[in-house]
Amino acid sequence: MKTEISIEFFPPQTPEGIEKLRSTRKALAKLNPSFFSVTYGAGGSTRERTFNVVKEIAAEGFAAAPHLSCIGSTRNNISEILGDYQAAGIRRIVALRGDLPSGMAETGEFRYANELVEFIRAETGDWFSIEVAAYPEWHPQARSPHDDLQAFARKVKAGANSAITQYFFNADAYFHFVDAAHALGVHVPIIPGIMPIAGFTKLARFSDACGADIPRWMRKKFESYGDDSEAIRAFGLDVITALCEKLIAGGAPGLHFYSMNQSPLTTEICRRLG
């Protein structure tokens, strides 16, 4: 049985970035993803750019899933965005709490993602299929694993259809999280987020900030390659392919690739997975 995949992009800031994303999309479209998602900046800072990329994806005949974060937003402003997406025929949305832009103290009219999910359902009924975030290694701001799991359950009970996880490198963390969600009566598909590894320094910094654990054996191996980008790329491909194989064998309902607007690594991993 073919594993469903989906792929995430971020909205580029420059005309060159926009052109590059078009060619990346063309390459990744060959993998026949079930949808392309597009991120949304803190406090809605990329609203227009996100919308433009989403419209282009839809015009190319693919399902597009814009991210929508609610921190720093008002009900009116979210309602307006939902209306724009409905008018554009978009049927899927990734609903997130998001981060406050630096220097901003007010959270706005929404505090948590479950409030956003409830609002989307109240405003638009069943128009959107709603994805929410899940954290197999727990959200860095969660007080405890138990609290984090309860927060996840609230998002699903508010009306989410499925979830996409933060990336991780330990398959057991994912399987444990899914089991714990099932034990709470949460049975929506939980799709593992996959981060192809292009370089180590940036990945280590990013992982430390978002709470994704890089196992010691992986960290040591990457560090041992120094500046050898070819060796880092080859090892990264092996590690991520093996992770995906384990997830698929364990019954993961799909794979969601964080492409970083690049096509070669995602394409190669999918080729290896057949």
**Any residues with CB less than 8 A from the CB of 230 and at least 6 apart, and which?**
none
For residue 235, the SS3 value is helix
What is the C-alpha separation between 214 and 109, in angstroms, rounded?
35
User: Which 3 state secondary structure label does DSSP give 128?
Assistant: coil
List residues with catalytic annotation. Answer: 8
Burial 221-242 (b: 16+ CB within 10 A, else e): bbeebeeeeeebbebbbebbbe
- Distances in Å between the Cα of 21 and the Cα atoms of 16, 18, 88, 90, 161 are 9, 5, 21, 20, 28
